[in-house]
C-alpha cells in the first residue's frame, strides 16, 4: 500500500470551496482505499489530506482521471501553499485490506 499526507494552505476565505472541489473530484478513484479531507483545528486556511492507495501507480494514475483533471484548474488559484508532508507505507487501518508481507 501507499500513503500520502498533504498540507494545503488555502487562500483566505476559500477553504470551504476547496473542500467542495476535493470531495467532488475524489469520488470513485480506482485503487483508493481512503481519502480523508480534514480542516486544521488551529488555522482556518489549512486543509490536511490523508490518502491510502493500493499502489503508487494507482495514485499517479488518478491524476489522469477526468474528474481530477477538471478539478485542477479550479483548485490551483485557491492554493496558497502545497506541502507533501510524508509518503508512507500503511500497515493497518480500520477498513483497509490486510497487508501481505
pLDDT the model gives residue 101: 60
pLDDT the model gives residue 39: 98
3-state secondary structure the chain: CEEEEEEEEECCCCHHHHHHHHHHHCCCCCCEEEEEEEECCCCCCEEEEEEEECCHHHHHHHCCCHHHHHHHHHHHHHEEEEEEEEEECCCCCCCCCCCCC
Q: What is the value of pTM for the model shown?
A: 0.91
User: Where in the sequence is the domain holding 73, given as residue range(s)?
Assistant: 2-79
Domain at 25, CATH number: 3.30.70.100
The answer to the question of residue 38 being in a domain is yes
The answer to the question of residue 89 being in a domain is no
23-45: pLDDT as tens digits: 999 888 999 999 999 999 999 99
The answer to the question of residue 40 being in a domain is yes
The answer to the question of residue 84 being in a domain is no
Number of domains in the chain: 1
Amino acid at each position: 500500500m501507499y500513503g500520502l499526507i498533504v498540507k494545503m494552505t488555502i487562500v483566505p476565505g476559500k477553504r470551504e470551496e476547496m473542500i467542495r472541489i476535493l470531495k467532488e473530484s475524489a469520488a470513485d478513484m480506482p485503487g483508493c482505499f481512503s481519502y480523508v479531507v480534514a480542516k486544521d483545528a488551529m488555522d482556518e486556511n489549512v486543509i490536511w489530506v490523508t490518502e491510502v492507495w493500493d499502489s503508487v501507480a494507482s495514485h499517479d494514475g488518478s491524476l489522469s482521471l477526468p474528474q481530477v483533471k477538471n478539478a485542477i484548474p479550479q483548485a490551483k488559484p485557491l492554493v496558497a501553499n502545497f506541502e507533501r508532508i510524508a509518503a508512507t507505507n500503511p500497515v493497518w487501518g480500520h477498513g483497509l485490506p490486510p497487508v501481505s508481507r
